[in-house]
Amino acid sequence: MVGILGANSVSGGYEVGNSLMFNDPDTPKLTRTNSSGGNRQVFTHSFWFKRATPGNIDVLFQAGTSESTNTGFYTVTIHGGDKLFIGGAATSYRQTNRLFRDPSAWYHIVLAMDTTDGTADNRLKVYVNGLQETSLTTNNTITQNLNTPVNENGKVHQISGNQIANDFFVAGYLAEYNHIDGQQLTPTSFGEFNDNGVWVPIKYTGTYGTNGYFLEFKETGTSQNSSGIGADTSGNDNHFAVTNLAATDVTTDTPTNNFAIMNPLDNYYAGATFSEGNCKIVTGSSPSTFVTSTLGVETGKWYWEVKIIDKAGGSDDTSIGVQGGVSPGATDQIGYNTAGVQLRSNGNKHTNGSNATYMASQDNDDIIMVAFDKTNNNVYFGANGQWGDGSGNTDESNPTSAIGITVSDFVFAALGDMDGSDTCTYEINFGNPSFAISSSNADADGHGNFEFAPPSGYFALCTKNLAKYG
């Protein structure tokens, strides 16, 4: 299965511990200016990317600050209808026919350059998930022995954003960023196909060259040093400066453990706005419907949290819950049938079009807890560390008051609103929070980072847990 990465659950397999979430509106970037020259003709980029916003222009990497000549400018971008583009200022080098539109997927991209090669097609090789891209919209000849600005002394090298116009910043996640100065490598230096035919990371064990680096995003500082988010762990100490990125942007959503986020492709009726790596949702002002998560479940027990940022103007406008299937219309709310249930901010539950008392009301800054037992089709809600009792109170230490749903297929986490003229704002945490956590609780298998401890037997919604329990 090339394109969507599942779980790397093989015992002893290489684990990627962290990724870095880039939130486009924040203008986030990592930058470094080379203090010495390297090989401007031969180099390799290898990185993993999970897109948050299909249709966005994501400038993933850029070297140089002049668009006047190809020797002064080099960029790697996803644009032009979600295609991968690599080019200089005057000439596009390569553009794929492949589209990068799946927000549930981790893509491994390798760009291997050798402008000294006598065969024009071999001067830049593009690989996605272990396979070379040969179906190309653009395949222009790169001048033999061209000196690019990559690895050039004094040139700014930037991850995320167009440094010339200060726009087109990345919306999504980057992980395992290797840059090799002086070698044109193949993907097998960085990954392999596992027993299920899924492309997974392996540890790169080669050399890096003068201006090479390895960004693992292990640290949370904002300085350009070994304690910073942009720390180089290759041994070269080619650290990157950090702009508009914070400790909360370092996450454990990685190519070896892919966490659920909210799905911008399920937004036809809802008209919601997605940000913070699709963990922050602002609902549409006109519809009263919902959006769903990228990962659904058909068995097992699952836990996640939702922080209410703005509950809109009414007493019952929030809509937090689960639903079997995507939104079928602009006025179909979570729980419009027996395959879903929502919790409203007045504490009522809503399923099959009917309301009933469940727990106490909620307000802005409250953290709603959701425990979903798909094996038995039961849902439980709580807030701020206590669970609803089914009679209008939030005072239980464990989830005991089940809300039953009737569904045999996949069920998704869902967020929406009940107000057709206002918006609700949420930040959802499947174990990969976009907001600060004060107490840091993982599930029983050590996955996820939650404000409150998941109930016994419930797990974070990620591919490692899905491989074991789903």
Token pair of 277 as six digits:
């790596």
Chain length of the chain:
470
* Number of CB atoms found within 10 A of residue 36's CB: 10
Confidence of residue 66 (pLDDT cuts 50, 70, 90): low
- Tell me what pLDDT residue 420 has: 77
Contact 419, 425 (CB under 8 A): no
Contact 87, 142 (CB under 8 A): no
- Tell me what pLDDT residue 400 has: 96
Which H, E and C letters describe the chain, residue by residue? CCCCCCCCCCCCCCCCCCEEEECHHHCCEEEEECCCCCCCCEEEEEEEEEECCCCCCEEEEEECCCCCCHHHCEEEEEECCCEEEEECCCCEEEEEEEECCCCCCCEEEEEEEECCCCCHHHCEEEEECCEECCCEEEECCCCCCCCCCCCCCCCEEEECCECCCCECCCCEEEEEEEEEECCCCCHHHCEEECCCCCEEECCCCCCCCCCCEEECCCCCECCCCCCECCCECCCCCCCCEEECCCHHHEECCECCECECCECCCCCCCCCCEEECCCCEEECCCCCCCEEEEEEEECCCEEEEEEEEEECCCCCCCEEEEEECCCCCCCCCCCCCCCCEEEECCCCEEEECCEEEECCCCCCCCCEEEEEEECCCCEEEEEECCEEECCCCCEEECCCCCCEECCCCCCEEEEEEECCCCCCCEEEEECCCCCCCCCCCECCCCCCCCECCCCCCCCECCEHHHHHHHC
Confidence of residue 67 (pLDDT cuts 50, 70, 90): low
Token pair of 396 as six digits:
């239980």
Contact 108, 199 (CB under 8 A): yes
- Tell me what pLDDT residue 138 has: 92
Answer yes or no: is pLDDT of 314 > 80: no
- Tell me the C-alpha distance between 363 and 405, whole Å: 26
- Tell me the C-alpha distance between 292 and 262, whole Å: 6
Confidence of residue 9 (pLDDT cuts 50, 70, 90): very low
* Number of CB atoms found within 10 A of residue 189's CB: 18
Highest-pLDDT range among 77-91, 108-122, 301-315? 108-122
- Tell me the C-alpha distance between 290 and 319, whole Å: 8
Dihedral of CA 422/428/434/438: which sign? Answer: positive
Q: Which has more confidence, 66 or 109?
A: 109
* Beta-ladder partners of 416: 290, 319
Structural domains in the chain plus CATH codes: 19-251 (2.60.120.200), 273-469 (2.60.120.920)
- Tell me the C-alpha distance between 188 and 200, whole Å: 10
Q: What is the pLDDT of residues 436-469, one digit of tens each?
A: 999 999 999 999 999 999 999 999 999 999 999 9
Which residue reads 């291997």 in tokens? 112
Up-side HSE of residue 124: CA atoms within 13 Å toward CB? 27
- Tell me the C-alpha distance between 220 and 235, whole Å: 19
Q: What is the pLDDT of residues 316-358, one digit of tens each?
A: 789 999 999 999 999 999 999 999 999 999 999 999 989 999 9
Instruction: Write b or e for each residue in 402-436: b if 16 or more Cβ atoms lie within 10 A of its Cβ, otherwise e.
Output: ebebebeeebbbbbbbbbeebbbbbbbbbbbbbbe
Answer yes or no: is pLDDT of 216 > 90: yes
Q: What is the pLDDT of residues 342-399, one digit of tens each?
A: 999 999 999 998 999 999 999 999 999 999 999 999 999 999 999 999 999 999 999 9
Q: Read off the pLDDT of each residue in 259-288 and give the average, rounded to a whole number.
A: 95
How confident is the prediction for the chain on average, in pLDDT? 93
Contacts of 181 (CB under 8 A, 6+ apart): 38, 39, 43, 151, 208, 209, 210, 211, 212
Answer yes or no: is pLDDT of 80 > 90: no
Give the C-alpha distances (Å, rounded to integers) separating 122 from 111, 116, 186, 295, 382.
11, 9, 12, 38, 58
Longest dimension (CA), the chain: 77
Comparing CA positions, the residue from 453, 462, 14 lying closest to residue 252 is: 462
Answer yes or no: is pLDDT of 406 > 80: yes
* Beta-ladder partners of 373: 301, 378
- Tell me what pLDDT residue 71 has: 53
